[in-house]
Amino acid sequence: MITAKYITEPIAAGEFDHSAWDDCEPVRIEHYWSGDPAPASRHAEARLCWSDEALHVRFVGEQHEPLVVADNPVTDRKTLGLWDRDVCEIFVAPDPTHPERYFEFEAAPTGEWIDLGLVVKPTGRETDWDFHSGMEAAALVEPQSVKIAIRIPWSDVIAKPETGDVWLVNLFRCVGPEAPERYLAWRPTRTPEPNYHVPDAFGELRFD
């Protein structure tokens, strides 16, 4: 289980060194989607907290290989296909009784982003490509590391939780040019081929 701490003042997406992050639980992303251990040079950690305005997520990843990013990034609208390059992702299912209904948020080292609404049905996965959460993303590339932040505001679709609420969640990192070894997960999905869209693999996110 991940515990998200309540903070009284919201954090802007680009406040990577805000003191509130020091009190957040580090969540390690150290395995490939398959469950096999990934090398330390590709590990990452995520920290989550929440305020009256938003869910705040910060990823910090090891970066010891050339970035796989767009030559001409666009940050004023969502970038389809972002998952084909370096990216950090969070999937959240606010209703744990319906894990098949969830939301996907991604951000890249370039500051590019995408948000999607999804439903997994027996007949396949349905994606709301026009879903608009109002998310914000920021990134900071440093020597041998990359920081990526995602801010997801509360809305009519993703309502602010109450203290003690439990959602379902998974956290991912895509890094490097070589598939399938580029796909890391906090909770491995253990599919034959890389696939993050496995609600049964989601873990719990508790709002303290």
**Consecutive 10-residue runs of the chain (208 residues): their mean pLDDT?**
96 96 97 98 98 98 97 96 97 98 98 98 95 98 97 98 98 94 97 96 98
Q: What is the DSSP letter of 19?
A: G
Q: Record the pTM.
A: 0.97
pLDDT for 58: 98
pLDDT for 39: 97
Residues near 153 by Cβ (< 8 Å), separated by ≥ 6? 53, 54, 133, 134, 135, 136
- Asked whether the beta carbons of 91 and 155 are under 8 A apart, the reply is no
pLDDT for 179: 85
Handedness of CA 111, 186, 94, 81 (dihedral sign): positive
How would CATH label the architecture of 2-207? Sandwich (2.60)
Chain-centre distance of CA 70, in angstroms?
Answer: 19
pLDDT for 78: 97
pLDDT for 178: 86
- Asked whether the beta carbons of 132 and 125 are under 8 A apart, the reply is no
Chain-centre distance of CA 34, in angstroms?
Answer: 18
Handedness of CA 89, 128, 178, 194 (dihedral sign): positive
pLDDT for 11: 94
